[in-house]
Amino acid sequence: MKRRFQLKLGFPVVLLVVFCVSMAAVSTSRAAPLPLNRTLLILYDSKVSADPTATMAHRFLELPFNHKGYQFHFHDVRTGLPQLEQGEYAAILTWFRQPLEDSKSYFTWAINASERGYRFLIIGDIGLSNTLESFYLANEFVGHLGIKLMPRYHAGPLSADYEIIDKELTGFERPLPTLLPSFEHVTARDAATEVHLSARFNIGSDWYTSALYTSHPGGVFIQSGFAFYYDEYLNLSKWIIDPFALVDLLMDDAEFPIPDTTTLTGRRIFFSHVDGDGWNNVSLIDRFRDQGTIAAEIMLKELVEPFPDLPVTVGLVTGDLDPEIGGAKVAGKIARELYAKDQVELASHTHTHPFYWSFFKKYDRKREQGKIDENKRLKDDKAPERLVSRVIPVMKPQTGREHYSEFIAGGAGEMPRAYMRHPFDLNREIPQSLKLVESLAPEGRKAKIVLWSGDTSPFESAVKATRDAGVENLNGGDTRLDLMNPSLLYVSPISRTVGNQRQIYTAASNENTYTENWTGYHYAFANLKATVKNTGAPRRVKPYNLYYHMFAVERESTLKSLKSHLDDARYGEYIPITASHYAKIADAFFDVSLTPLGKFKWLVENHHELSTFRFDDADNITIDWGESQSVIGQTRANGSLYILVDPAKPTAVIALKPTRPKETPPPAPYLDNARWEISSVEPLRSCGLSFSAEGFGKGDMLWKGLAPGDYTIHATPVRGSIWEHHVSVADEGVLKLSIDAEAQHGATVSITCETGADTTE
Amino acid sequence: MTDKHTLSRTQWNVLLGLAGLIGIVAAYALIPSQTEKVEMLIADRQYSAAHRALKDMYDQGSRDPTLLANLVKTAKQFGDMDLYETALILLVEGRPKDPTLRDELLEFYKRMDRHAAYFALLEDSLKKIGKPTYFNDLVAYHRLAGRTDIEVEILHDHMNASNVSADNLRRLILLLAKSRRNAEALEAYRRFADQPVTETLSWDVKATVFKLMIIEGSPDTAMAQALGWLETSRDSSLLRAALFNMSDSLLTAGRADLMRNFAEASYRHLPVLSLSTGYALTQFGLGALALQQTQQLIASGYVLNSLEIGSYVSILINQNEIDAAANYLLAQAPESVLQEDWVALLENAIANDRWDISSAIAPNLTDVTLTYFPLIEAQLAYSRLDHDRAREILNAVDLQEQSSEVRRAWFYLSKDILSLPDLIARMQSAGPLSLFPQDVLIAYTKQVEPVDPQEFARVWRHMGGTQDLKASQSPNK
């Protein structure tokens, strides 16, 4: 009897359990959200643009897309068309510059991609070849973007006028051209097509309207003559279309926490790095010249020692120390002094300083020998020195230089690298060069970054060599934004794609572009201030980067500029970090994963060193502290909201809510900004909070949301003296601090209540 | 007693006195002036000392040009840019016609982002010295910034200056014409015509001037000019665009009388130019001439591009050569018949009873054209919103007998017109689905999959090995 009863009871229970587990599994699988796709597929034609770096998409569009949180994946159509997984890319972008050879295959593929839901951005040439079949297929494709190509083309500037002008989208850096460039006749195909810019033109008595900018659920189309304006006389360009609004148009105003590479702990990043060219050059400044002081020593005395609160990354050309190839050991003396400084980060600027990296992609020593012979001949002819000689020690002849002078560039020809005695060896250029740098530093200090030399266009295996060596890599980009480069078109994106590798660009140009490759106008590097200002507002698109060559200290005017730039960094509201730290943040941009958890709520993963996320036009939103996790602060600048997540936590949840006139106090104090990197923020049980900090100089910081009362600030650095201070927080709950302690190797800080303050609920 | 050859004491004294005086004067002359001291320091590369000395002299009120010139050098050297600028400005004011000084100051303002100072100095330099680069730079920066009104006024004011470039004159002419300042534009053209210009630069100006002459009532002059210009070039791409615009001007002005001569002269010069005059000729009722010229061009071996095909087909239809139009179109790309534009060309002819498609048999139509007849008829019916008729025609097409291209054309027309079950049924009855082109099968699976996964799976099996797609993953997810 008992057994039958138990069976009767047991079976329904088992069923119930199985049912509940199944429902849980079903609900979990149904609710599992996917990470946002932030990658666009960029198609290009290598017949026109040899590699991604040469494409219009990289040069012009990658920066605005990066700024909005997107990254590019390049594909050469000449290698075939990619097999697309569903949802593999957020959108597809083309900016062809001439018809495609195999337009039929391309359009057939594009039709398929469109039918599978991919949105396209088409700028410039659609890729149409001059056959009717191509025209038909192209029309079938662009039909998915809600437009139709007509068999008409309008050339000549006069008999056309603008009809529809979307003022939100046009006139970004200059107005629409008065004389209209040539355009294809394109019409809107269906009711879902929105025409943002159009022109009316006539042929005889027949009038037509052509769409110049359109948007549609299938994508966006921009006729290239109306995207930007190029002036041939000045060789300068400016945007006509608003490229940021273009991103929003294509991506449907998608809103998510944008991974930001310009800001850390609520402040704009400052970093400085120096390429070691001219290390041993004797200065032209008479007070130094008369004593034979070399550039590296001037740098040490004038720019490093007086600024212990500002880190600087110094990249040595290790060949400068190698007498076997023409260097001199004496260069090592100053290197040791420099690398002994806490604020100096070790870096390699390669061993033999390649000027033209493409020469070494498929290296042929015989071809280089031909160049060496030419170099010898030119030197024998006593050709005048060129800029290239700046790389080479300009000093009294030492054994190395005299013996191997034919192997040292400087004979006025175009040599592939500076030191050519031994065959090129990537091992020597990267890992061995890094080791050599480390041998000049105190025990335990590591070289963390390679600064690319010459044309800063390394090939794929060179970049891979830095990754294999476990270091970052940096250089290239040459960002400027000033009167001589008057457009965001001259601001580089975060990185350059090199095969399957990634090269991180600098955030500003060095002095070469200001001084015509160091041949004149040496005062002009002072104008870096314009680029720093213009890339900081109205949009903060770049950190503040002070980048120069060692030889820059040869001239008084440039030395003066450098000091002024360093003063700006010291006294401005920046967070100074090393170049390798910046490179890590930049690299992390591409790894960040963002998963929507609900409306205005996202899970952030794989953020690594990138701990700042941004929302633009954010005056009406603020952090929802109750729903967020591992968010340690927020700050505002230029109408944007910067969210600070804890760098020590691998994930975070960012949740937003609308701002209200009377906000409820946050559950814990939060950071507004700091000059040190702040992490591991924990509330203290009694009252207050503790955190870890790392940084250079004094720890200026601003905390908000503290309960009014008295507090004790206690900072315990890993190295150096403990610092303690007593402060009072007024009713506003704001605490402004300047912690005078050594935090370069880390510090633990606590802010504890004394009396009257109680942050516990 | 004195020797007549010896000097007296007095004479000695005078001599000694004179020698002393000479010595003092010589010694004084050898003392370097302040300026010379500075120059010696500079020659010695003692720039700091030189700069200090120069600053002292400047602070004491000296404005000697040589001092200022040296101060400019040393201040630049030392990065004392405020003093550099002040000294340079004083030099420029002292020598207002010296372009070297102005150029240096302009470079400084440009490189230091001093926008307002740069433009002010550029304007002042242009007023005081007519150097071409001042004009070109000023105009260019306004042009880059899109300040067209200012650009036009500067260009216009300097139109007759000897150093104004052809490029700038071209732009002035076009901008004036755009603002309907026709007389001024023609005046500017007279200046432009004196310049040695490249062809690329000149043809859109010529087309514009031609139009303005027609508008301003000088057609004979315009024609004489145009025919004269034609003789100067054989660059077909430039000429074609220009001639198209000129023909359009004649059309807009209604000058049929001039159009024939113009077309015949341009054809004699370069036969390919007939492609630019054809449209205007047809509009003027001179389509026979347009057709003759184009057919002669094709017969000579010229291959029309897609835009040109459209123009040629329009001419054929205009001349009631409907069969030829259809044959030609379909010979290029059979699917083109499904393009609404081309069908519209044929439809107009049909609507005007110039081509009875339902009679079907016309000896001048090629076999290819004949096979597409039903599809043309279906497309026409559909575009007239007679969907029932369109479906009837499509259902009647025997797909088993058709080529791969016809099947493709049939599919793309039918997927929007037939119901899905009808589409599936028709395709299944046509034979193995693999007879349809690959792009059709992909599109077909997209159509089918949401309705019938088994049908979808069957199609994928048909496609096995032809497409590297995961069978478990529908392209239509």
pLDDT value for A133: 73
Q: What is the average per-residue pLDDT within B335-350?
A: 62
Q: What's the pLDDT tens digit per position in A25-49?
A: 444 445 578 999 999 999 999 999 9
Q: Is the confidence at residue A488, as pLDDT, over 90?
A: yes
Task: Please report residues of A whose CB lies closer than 8 A to that of B336.
Answer: 132-133, 135-136
pLDDT reported for residue B78: 87
Mean pLDDT across A738-747: 95
A151 touching chain B per CB within 8 A: yes
Is the pLDDT at B131 greater than 70? The verdict is yes
Q: What is the mean pLDDT of residues A497-509?
A: 97
pLDDT value for B310: 77
Distances from the Cα of A644 to the Cα of A365, A525, A589, A615, B430, angstroms: 51, 33, 15, 12, 64
Chain B, nearest residue to A515 by Cα? B111
Amino acid at B132: P
Backbone φ, ψ for residue B417 (5° rounding): -110, -45
pLDDT at A312: 98
Residues B330-339 have a mean pLDDT of: 64
Q: Do A484 and B443 touch (CB under 8 A)?
A: no
Res B19: pLDDT: 87
The CATH 1.25.40 domain(s) of chain B lie at 198-319
Contact criterion met (CB below 8 Å) for A386 and A418? no
Give yes or no for a contact between A494 and A258, defined as CB atoms under 8 angstroms apart. Answer: no
**What is the dotted CATH code of the domain comprising A672-761?**
2.60.40
Strands A228-231 and A236-239: antiparallel
Which residues in chain B touch residue A177, judged by CB atoms under 8 angstroms apart?
Answer: 146
Confidence at B471, pLDDT banded by 50, 70, 90: very low
Residue B350 confidence (pLDDT): 58
Interface of B with A in 73-132 (CB under 8 A): 76-79, 81, 84, 107-108, 110-115, 118
Interval A253-270: pLDDT, tens: 899 999 999 999 999 999
Q: How far is A515 from chain B (nearest CA, A)?
A: 9
* Confidence band of A389 (pLDDT split at 50, 70, 90): low
Q: Which pLDDT does position B342 carry in this prediction?
A: 65
Q: Which residues contact B311 (CB under 8 A, 6 or more apart)?
A: A151, B275, B278, B279, B294
More confident position, A11 or B168: B168
**Across the strands, what pairs with A186?**
A149
Considering only CA atoms, which of A601, A589, A603 is closest in space to residue A70? Answer: A589
Mean pLDDT for the stretch of residues A412-427: 89
Q: Work out the pLDDT band at A444, boundaries 50, 70, 90.
A: very high
**In angstroms, how far is the first alpha carbon of chain A from the final one?**
58
Percent of chain B with pLDDT over 90: 36
How confident is residue B101, by pLDDT bands cut at 50, 70 and 90?
very high
pLDDT for the residue B370: 67
What pLDDT does residue B355 have?
Answer: 54
A558: closest chain B residue by CA: B79
Per-residue pLDDT tens for A76-125? 999 999 999 888 999 999 999 999 999 989 998 999 999 899 999 999 88
pLDDT (mean) for A426-434? 97
Q: So where are chain A's domains?
A: 1-32, 39-254, 263-584, 591-664, 672-761
For chain B, say whether A134 makes contact (Cβ under 8 Å).
Answer: yes
* Residue A5 scores a pLDDT above 50: no
Q: Is B475 touching A (CB cutoff 8 A)? A: yes
Architecture of domain B198-319: Alpha Horseshoe (1.25)
**pLDDT over 70 for what percent of chain A?**
91
Residue corresponding to tokens 């923020």: A681
pLDDT of residue A74: 97
Model confidence over A116-171: pLDDT tens digits?
A: 999 999 998 899 887 767 887 898 899 999 999 987 778 767 789 999 999 999 99
Mapped to the 3 state alphabet, what secondary structure does B200-256 carry? HHHHHHHHHHHHHHHHCCCHHHHHHHHHHHHCCCCCHHHHHHHHHHHHHHHHHHCCH
Cβ distance of B309 and A132 shorter than 8 Å: yes
B251 min Cα distance to partner chain A (Å): 5
Q: Higher confidence at residue B422 or residue A663?
A: B422
pLDDT in tens, A390-400: 555 544 444 56
Q: Is A267 exposed, middle or buried (0-12, 13-18, 19+ CB in 10 A)?
A: buried
Asked if the model's pLDDT at residue A663 lies above 80, the reply is no
CA of B167: which chain A residue's CA is closest?
A: A233
Cβ under 8 Å to B: A residues 239-278? none
Give the residue-averaged pLDDT of A211-234. Answer: 96
In this structure, which CATH number among 3.30.460.80, 3.20.20.370, 3.30.70.20, 1.10.10.60 belongs to the domain A263-584?
3.20.20.370
A271-280 confidence digits (pLDDT tens): 999 999 999 8
- SS3 string, chain B, reads CCCCCCCCHHHHHHHHHHHHHHHHHHHHHHCCCHHHHHHHHHHCCCHHHHHHHHHHHHHCCCCCHHHHHHHHHHHHHHCCHHHHHHHHHHHHHHCCCCHHHHHHHHHHHHHCCCHHHHHHHHHHHHHHCCCHHHHHHHHHHHHHHCCHHHHHHHHHHCCCCCCCCHHHHHHHHHHHHHCCCHHHHHHHHHHHHCCCCCHHHHHHHHHHHHHHHHHCCCHHHHHHHHHHHHCCCCCHHHHHHHHHHHHHHHHHHCCHHHHHHHHHHHHHHCHHHHHHHHHHHHHCCCHHHHHHHHHHHHHCCCCCCHHHHHHHHHHHHHCCCHHHHHHHHHHHCHHHHHCHHHHHHHHHHHHCCCCCHHHCCCCCCCHHHHHHHHHHHHHHHHHCCCHHHHHHHHHHCCHHHCCHHHHHHHHHHHCCCCCHHHHHHHHHHCCCHHHCCHHHHHHHHHHHCCCCHHHHHHHHHHCCCCCCCCCCCCCCC
The answer to whether residue A130 neighbours chain B at the CB level (below 8 Å) is yes
| Residues of chain A contacting residue B248, judged by C-beta atoms under 8 Å apart | 159, 202-204
Q: What's the pLDDT tens digit per position in B416-456?
A: 888 888 888 888 888 777 778 777 777 777 677 665 667 76
- Region A727-743: what's the mean pLDDT? 94
Report the range of poorest mean pLDDT among A161-175, B237-251, B329-343.
B329-343
pLDDT value, residue A272:
98
Establish whether domains A39-254 and A672-761 are of one fold: no
For the stretch B257-304, pLDDT in tens is 899 999 999 999 999 999 989 989 998 999 999 999 999 999 999 988
What pLDDT does A23 receive? 53
**A178:B175 CB<8 A:** yes
Q: What is the mean pLDDT of chain A?
A: 90
Q: Is the pLDDT of residue B132 over 70?
A: yes
Query: In chain A, what residues touch B335 (CB-CB under 8 Å)?
Result: 133, 136
In this predicted structure, the answer to whether residue A331 has a pLDDT above a threshold of 60 is yes
Q: Please name the fold of domain A39-254.
A: Rossmann fold (3.40.50)
Q: How confident is the model at residue B476 (pLDDT cuts 50, 70, 90)?
A: very low
Whole-number pLDDT of residue A422: 93
Q: How would residue A6 be classed by pLDDT, with cut points 50, 70 and 90?
A: very low
B442 part of contact set with chain A, CB < 8 Å:
yes
* Better pLDDT: A41 or B78: A41
Among candidates A158, A202, A482 on the partner chain, residue whose Cβ is nearest the Cβ of B178: A158
What is the nearest CA distance from B369 to chain A, expressed in angstroms? Answer: 16
pLDDT of residue A12: 52
Residue B365: pLDDT band (50, 70, 90) is: low
For residue B171, pLDDT over 80 is answered with yes
Answer whether 0.80 is exceeded by the pTM: yes
**B245/A635 Cα distance (integer angstroms):** 58
Specify the range with the lowest mean pLDDT, choosing from A168-182, A608-622, B47-61: B47-61
Lowest-confidence pick of A60-74, A351-365, B232-246, B360-374: B360-374
Is the per-residue pLDDT at A537 higher than 70? yes
